[in-house]
Amino acid sequence: MSLLWVAPLAVVVGLSLGALGGGGAILMVPILVYLLQQPPSAATTGSLVIVGLSSLAGIVSHWKSGNVRLKDGLIFGAAGVVGSLVGSRLSVLARPDVLMTAFALLMLVVAFVMFRKSRRKPSLDAPSEEPRRRGIVTFLLTATGVGLLTGFFGVGGGFAVVPALVLALGFTMPAAVATSLVVIVINSATALVGRAATGLEIDWVIIGVFSVLAAFGSVIGSRIGQRVPPHRLSLAFSILMVVIAAYMLVMNVPQLVG
């Protein structure tokens, strides 16, 4: 398929990252593989560049609104790197179809919890900006757990970071979305450094165009996210996760029962 027709989808990826803090990496890899016929290894490497740069652009926009918890994001990202390395080692023991089916089921569980949270009426007395601190141990364990899951399943981390920040650490949805972009940048950069040792297989023309468009979408998405009530963002995020999980189940369950 022509790059001219596929490239606008990069804006959708950026919108997802900017407004919801997740879904971009999961959306980008299928676009590169199935629509532009790139090898999976090249697609996953190129996706790291696109998602990393678009997340960085989103951080700048969110920073102006004061939602980025930089210190928390850096700590979460650092702890997640350790968990991701361990998860990557463990993932080689599982069959790909089993791995991705289990991951899709995990996404459905998290989506259900986020959906229930979105249906609750927001409390007028609850703080709208500051996260409810639950201790450094909880913070580090949650970050390591998210890193372990993302490393084990071999995909991006925004979809897992946002629910973790909201459900386990008490972040508001806007703060979770903004801070998750910091974690995504750290994870993307770390993964790229790791892949650089074996050579980077990247089509720089396609990746360059997609990076610019995704960065533009991320800035627009961050502005949209600042104008939408947090409970609606939670609902939108849960719907996004259900759609992605359903696609993954359709692609992998037949291989399990076949």
Check pLDDT > 60 for residue 129: no
Average pLDDT, the chain: 79
| Per-residue pLDDT reduced to its tens digit, 148-195 | 877 777 666 777 788 788 877 788 888 888 899 899 888 888 888 777
Distance of CA 214 to the CA centre of its chain: 14
pLDDT average, residue stretch 114-127: 59
pLDDT average, residue stretch 68-73: 90
d(CA 213, CA 124): 38
Number of domains in the chain: 1
d(CA 131, CA 189): 27
**Between residues 136 and 23, the one the model is more confident about:** 136
The boundaries of the domain holding residue 159 are 3-257
Check pLDDT > 70 for residue 92: no
| Per-residue pLDDT reduced to its tens digit, 210-236 | 889 988 888 888 887 777 776 777 787
Which pTM does this prediction carry? 0.74
Kindly report the three-state secondary structure assignment for every residue of 64-126. Answer: HHCCCCHHHHHHHHHHHHHHHHHHHHHHCCCCHHHHHHHHHHHHHHHHHHHHHHHHCCCCCCC
Check pLDDT > 70 for residue 238: yes
